[in-house]
């Protein structure tokens, strides 16, 4: 008799699959050579209306900022979400250590908020670039 162990992802990345910038970044993480299919990181496209959402969240809330959910259901957003993801990814763990530097998390969060203000314009540019590259 074979015992099957059901593994719960250590981290669930909740990302906007409709955003060309987000898709590109998530592809970078997913394509890491060290990230195995049985990895403790799971990627969920919350732009897909068929995808169930974590309790207490809305699709708009999850699409507005980057979120990750820990195995206990705790939700991290913005800079904290990136730090949690980087800490779980082989080859990126060193980057998560930036949180040890005084003021680094505060600076990352402020930078991320600035990026969010520019995101719509950057999304339009990225979408045009993708269209341009896929033309015959």
DSSP state for residue 79 in the 8-state scheme = H
Q: Supply φ then ψ for residue 48, to 5 degrees.
A: -80, 115
Sort strands 11-15 and 41-45 into parallel, antiparallel or unpaired. Answer: parallel
State yes or no: pLDDT of 11 exceeds 60: yes
The pLDDT tens digits of the residues spanning 46-100 come to: 999 999 999 999 999 999 999 999 988 899 999 999 999 999 888 888 889 988 9
The pLDDT tens digits of the residues spanning 85-107 come to: 999 888 888 889 988 999 999 99
State yes or no: pLDDT of 122 exceeds 70: yes
Which CA distances in Å does 90 have to 14, 66, 85, 95? 19, 20, 10, 11
Handedness of CA 18, 87, 11, 60 (dihedral sign): negative
Per-residue pLDDT, averaged over 122-131, amounts to 74
**Structure confidence at residue 88 (pLDDT):** 87
For the chain, give the mean pLDDT: 84
Cα 103–Cα 104–Cα 108 angle in degrees, nearest 5: 120
Say if pTM beats, i.e. exceeds, 0.85: no
State yes or no: pLDDT of 4 exceeds 60: no
Residue ranges of E strands in the chain: 11-15, 41-45, 67-69, 75-77
- Both tokens of 92, joined, read 């990126």
């Amino acid at each position: 008799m074979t015992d099957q162990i059901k593994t719960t992802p250590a981290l669930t990345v909740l990302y906007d699959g409709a955003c060309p910038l987000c898709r590109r970044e998530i592809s970078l993480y997913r394509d890491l050579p060290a990230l195995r299919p049985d990895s403790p990181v799971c990627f969920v496209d919350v732009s897909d209306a068929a995808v169930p959402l974590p309790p207490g969240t809305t699709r708009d809330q999850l699409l507005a900022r980057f979120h990750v959910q820990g195995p206990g259901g705790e939700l991290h957003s913005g800079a904290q979400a990136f730090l949690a993801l980087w800490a779980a990814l082989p080859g990126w763990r060193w980057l998560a250590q930036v949180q040890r530097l005084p003021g680094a998390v505060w600076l990352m969060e402020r930078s991320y908020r600035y990026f969010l203000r520019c995101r719509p314009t950057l999304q339009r540019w990225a979408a045009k670039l993708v269209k341009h590259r896929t033309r015959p």
